[in-house]
Amino acid sequence: MSIPTFLRPEAWPYVDVEIIPADEQCGPVVDVTIAPVSAQPSLFGQAPTLAELQEHPRATPKHRLGSKLDRAVANKAARLADKRLLDAWALAVKTRDQWKDRKTGRPVLRSRQLDPLRAEAHHIVDRADRRVRHDIRNGLCLSFATHFAVTRHQLRIEGTQFFCVEGHTYIDATFPVVFVRL
């Protein structure tokens, strides 16, 4: 990789600074003159050629979107699409489990109110794991009370069947699971 000529030190203007004392009447003021030391032509004031500029391209942005507003709109759209996928995943998990708590077998309520029997979809492996974030085999229908106990580590979920994604093994919730009190 070569450095463009306008960035090379030999192309910089060479100067020599002489300090010439002023006459006594003005006080301790000093005149400074700048005189070229070499006859080498300076590139100062000359614009680099297009070829020299293209030799060293600027860093390319990680995104293709131009403005900050465009990126914000795209991020918002991605979050909303992910929320729709998670809502569809939760509905599919609850429907598969026939709207019953997988631990107790009791029917759960379709409610938004804080009720111990409210239906909730639980990710066995945290939803931060993108490989199984929207996989219904990674979900269980639980009541709010059971879900609270699982998330507070009072209950542990153990599987009877497993599945693999990209070399990682996960509990398959389409088969029976065992809840162990800790």
Can you give the pLDDT at residue 34?
53
Can you give the pLDDT at residue 1?
52
Q: What is the mean pLDDT of the chain?
A: 81
Neighbours of 155 (CB within 10 A): 17
Q: Is the pLDDT of residue 175 over 70?
A: yes
Give the closest residue to 95 by CA, choosing from 119, 123, 126: 119
Which comes out higher in pLDDT, residue 6 or 72?
72
| Average pLDDT score over residue span 18-27 | 56
Per-residue pLDDT of 29-80, as tens digits, reads 555 555 554 544 555 556 667 777 677 766 665 556 578 888 899 999 999 9
| Average pLDDT score over residue span 147-166 | 96
Torsion angle in degrees (nearest 10) through CA of 55, 61, 67, 70: 140
| Average pLDDT score over residue span 108-125 | 95
All residues at 6 or more sequence positions from 33 whose CB lies less than 8 Å from its CB, including other chains: 17, 18, 20
Q: Tokens 């991020």 correspond to what residue?
A: 75
| Average pLDDT score over residue span 93-117 | 95
Can you give the pLDDT at residue 55?
74
Can you give the pLDDT at residue 168?
95
Helix (H, G, I), strand (E, B) or coil at 154: coil
Can you give the pLDDT at residue 99?
97
Q: What is the pTM of this model?
A: 0.63
Q: Is the pLDDT of residue 7 over 70?
A: no
The sign of the dihedral angle between the CA atoms of 85, 89, 95, 100 is: negative
Burial of 177 (0-12, 13-18, 19+ CB in 10 A): middle
Per-residue pLDDT of 72-102, as tens digits, reads 999 999 999 999 999 999 999 999 999 999 9
